[in-house]
Chains A and B, each alone.
Chain A
Amino acid sequence: MVFFLTKRLIQSVFVMLAVAFLAFSLFRYVGDPVSQMTGVETSVEDRERLREDLGLNDPFVYQFVRFTGDLLKGDFGYSYRTRQPVAEMIASRIPATLELGLVALMISLLVGIPAGVYTALRPRGFATQTILMLTLVGVSIPTFVIGIMLIFFFGVQLGWLPTFGRGGTVSVGGWETSFLTIDGWRSLILPALTLGVYQLTLTMRLVRAEMMDVMQSDYIRFATARGVPMGRMYFRHALSNTMVPVITIIGLQFGGVIAFSIVTESVFQWPGMGLLFLESIRFVDIPVMGVYLVVIAFFFVLVNLIVDLLYVLIDPRLRISDVS
């Protein structure tokens, strides 16, 4: 178990290094940093001095090591567009995106897993066919259209919910949360639904496929023959065996949630990291793009490490494998 986790930890470090390298290459080779930071009236000598100050004349490896070191120290450089420190810009956007993603993930799991189990156990039922048809439509409707539809019905037609921004937020130790105000929750509903629906269909389809596979296995047939009560069989024997792939998908979905939060945040003008990333692409603000990638990769790696820990907790075989 320790070996397994150590291996994963080392892999994670390599992933982070690769992403840091990508961010570094972006900064160094996409456009010229010096001409981005200076104006037309800057003299050639000043440009050369800046180039020297930034260390752009140093050997490649040295530059990369310094770049990574700066990242570790939390020094993320300055935005080309706003001239503010990137670290501050990103940090102020993190709570909005994470809270949105968390609620979306909750929707995906709390609805997706029961729906998946149900459709697997009653494959020919009318409800199942309806749900499956709906998920196919759900997968085909782009996230932004789902967002527009929700805005149209609940925001414009019914006027029940706000359609843009975060509403009221409360600062808890520097973390702007919308969980503590009613207004914040109301603003959260539509974006979280938009983001959650697509993930929900994925969860449901996966749980259904796994469940159907498990239900056909020998041990379930044996359990049926032995007369194990249905409820116990479904949930104790079958569902718990589908949990490993389901947890994997949670790890993977986190990436999807973050990525599609770009779209959702754009539709709802949600002041999160995705909106910032989108603006930085539009204005070719390379430092922000690079740091966004590093931050996203960090969360991604973190979530996957937690998932690995959960594997060990859920699957006893992984605990034993070290001994043998």
Chain B
Amino acid sequence: MLDFIKRHEGLWLFTHSPSVMIAAIVALAILIGAVFAPWIAPVDPYDLSSFSLMDGLLPPVWEEFGTSKFPLGTDDQGRDMISSILYGARLSLIIGVCAMAIASILGVGLGLAAGYIGGRFDAVVMRIADIQLALPAILTALLIDGIARGILPPELRQDMRVVVLTLAIALSLWVNFARTARASTFVQMNKEYVQAAMMQGQHPLRIMFVHILPNILGPLLVIMTVDLASAILLEATLSFLGIGLPADSPSLGTLIRIGMQFLLSGEWWILWIPTLFLIALVVSINVLGDFLRDVFNPRLR
């Protein structure tokens, strides 16, 4: 798929579009900050001994009363904001990437199989996909979360939060992958190389994953970026609604939820800094996704 010319055309487009380059830099910076949070962050926000109430509600360093010890200020508990945000972004990204990975494996697997096998299997998978597509992702995720709460014993609920949340998000996002994979597989099925592989009597799994899959990766890559952004947004929304991660291991959404309490009282940094961070992350991923779509689908340009 990524033939020589296209790769270079993509590179050319990349270097000639400032918004895409800025997006890439922002996304990369946040990614590095999140991955290396334990080494970069001044303190560990999960460690209760690392902060004290005495430092509570300090503004960022450029405001009056701000100190260089807490560059982005502190929340009401005296937690360093920049550390909370880095660790929060870390959690958001971990959940987002895992959910997207699970969704893509599930979706691409089912979509490929549906396109290859066709017939009744295809009909069943696609009906399920249709039904789920009618339900918006956030409703599906909320529902799965609610069911998990009902099924899990209370003592496990806290420990399993991250897993439940990831699965809930993954199960609400797989449909896009399945539909795209299926549609692209249909196109490939008519190509000679697939016919030839079939006539050679190669194993269907081999044809699906070794022959067809590499040829449909382009559109899937676009879906992956778009869905990564959706996954991060979904996680943030669920956490904001108080259904996601609890306040002792906050993701970006939880931080915004906490910050909402200070909307009226003037400690703007507790709310707006995590919010800005989340928006920067999602916007840059979406811009990159749009760019990839342009590269792989020149007709829309």
Assess the B279–A141 pair: CB atoms within 8 A. yes
Assess the A136–B283 pair: CB atoms within 8 A. yes
CB of B240 within 8 Å of the partner chain: yes
Q: Which residue, of A148, A156, A256, has the highest number of chain B Cβ atoms within 10 A?
A: A148
Closest to B154 in A: A284
CB of B275 within 8 Å of the partner chain: yes
Among A133, A136, A148, A278, the residue within 8 A (CB) of B260 is A148
Assess the A259–B279 pair: CB atoms within 8 A. no
Contacts of A18 in B (CB 8 A): 131
Question: Cα distance A141–B240 when bound, in Å?
Answer: 14
- Which of A91-99, A175-183, A231-239, A260-268 lies at the interface with chain B? A260-268
Question: Cα distance A137–B229 when bound, in Å?
Answer: 12
Question: Cα distance A18–B127 when bound, in Å?
Answer: 12
Question: Cα distance A233–B78 when bound, in Å?
Answer: 64
Contacts of A144 in B (CB 8 A): 236-237, 240-241, 256
Cβ distance A278 to chain B, nearest Cβ, rounded Å? 6
Contacts of B282 in A (CB 8 A): 140-142
The B contact surface, by secondary structure, is helix
Residues of B within 8 A of A (CB-CB), count = 37
Question: Cα distance A140–B139 when bound, in Å?
Answer: 18
In chain A, positions 1-44 with a C-beta closer than 8 Å to chain B are 15, 18, 26, 30-31
Assess the A281–B149 pair: CB atoms within 8 A. yes
CB of A64 within 8 Å of the partner chain: no
What mask results when residues 130 to 158 of chain B are scored 1 for a CB within 8 Å of chain A, else 0? Answer: 01001110110011011101110000000
Question: Cα distance A153–B236 when bound, in Å?
Answer: 22
Question: Cα distance A289–B150 when bound, in Å?
Answer: 11
Question: Cα distance A282–B139 when bound, in Å?
Answer: 14
Question: Cα distance A136–B286 when bound, in Å?
Answer: 8
Assess the B135–A255 pair: CB atoms within 8 A. yes
Assess the B263–A284 pair: CB atoms within 8 A. no
Contacts of A259 in B (CB 8 A): 135-136, 138-139
CB of B278 within 8 Å of the partner chain: yes
In chain B, positions 13-33 with a C-beta closer than 8 Å to chain A are 19
Assess the B243–A278 pair: CB atoms within 8 A. yes
Assess the B283–A137 pair: CB atoms within 8 A. yes
Contacts of A145 in B (CB 8 A): 256, 275, 278-279
Question: Cα distance A152–B265 when bound, in Å?
Answer: 11
What mask results when residues 143 to 177 of chain B are scored 1 for a CB within 8 Å of chain A, else 0? Answer: 10111011100000000000000000000000000
Known: A140-B282, A263-B241, A281-B142. A148 touches B271 (CB 8 A): yes
Cβ distance A61 to chain B, nearest Cβ, rounded Å? 22
Contacts of A30 in B (CB 8 A): 147, 150-151
Question: Cα distance A259–B229 when bound, in Å?
Answer: 18
Question: Cα distance A296–B275 when bound, in Å?
Answer: 31
Assess the B290–A136 pair: CB atoms within 8 A. yes
Cβ distance B94 to chain A, nearest Cβ, rounded Å? 18
Assess the A140–B142 pair: CB atoms within 8 A. no
Assess the A300–B138 pair: CB atoms within 8 A. no
Cβ distance A167 to chain B, nearest Cβ, rounded Å? 19
CB of B264 within 8 Å of the partner chain: yes
What mask results when residues 259 to 301 of chain B are scored 1 for a CB within 8 Å of chain A, else 0? Answer: 0100110000001000100110011011100100000000000
Contacts of B145 in A (CB 8 A): 281
Q: Which residue, of B145, B240, B260, B282, has the highest number of chain A Cβ atoms within 10 A?
A: B240
CB of B233 within 8 Å of the partner chain: yes
Question: Cα distance A300–B133 when bound, in Å?
Answer: 13
- A selection of 19 A-B contacts at a CB cut-off of 8 Å is A15-B131, A26-B150, A133-B19, A136-B287, A140-B229, A140-B279, A142-B236, A142-B278, A143-B237, A144-B237, A148-B263, A156-B263, A260-B138, A262-B142, A277-B142, A278-B241, A281-B146, A282-B242, A289-B146
What are the 7 closest A-B residue pairs judged by CB atoms, nearest first?
A30-B150, A259-B136, A281-B146, A140-B283, A259-B139, A140-B282, A31-B150
Residues of A within 8 A of B (CB): 15, 18, 26, 30-31, 133, 136-137, 139-145, 148, 151-152, 156, 252, 255-256, 258-260, 262-263, 266, 277-278, 280-282, 284, 286, 289, 293, 296, 300
Residues of B within 8 A of A (CB): 19, 131, 134-136, 138-139, 142-143, 145-147, 149-151, 229, 233, 236-237, 240-243, 256, 260, 263-264, 271, 275, 278-279, 282-283, 285-287, 290
Known interface pairs A258-B136, A262-B139; 12 further A-B residue pairs with C-beta atoms within 8 A, sorted by A's residue number: A136-B290, A141-B282, A142-B233, A143-B237, A144-B236, A144-B241, A256-B136, A277-B142, A278-B243, A281-B142, A284-B149, A296-B139
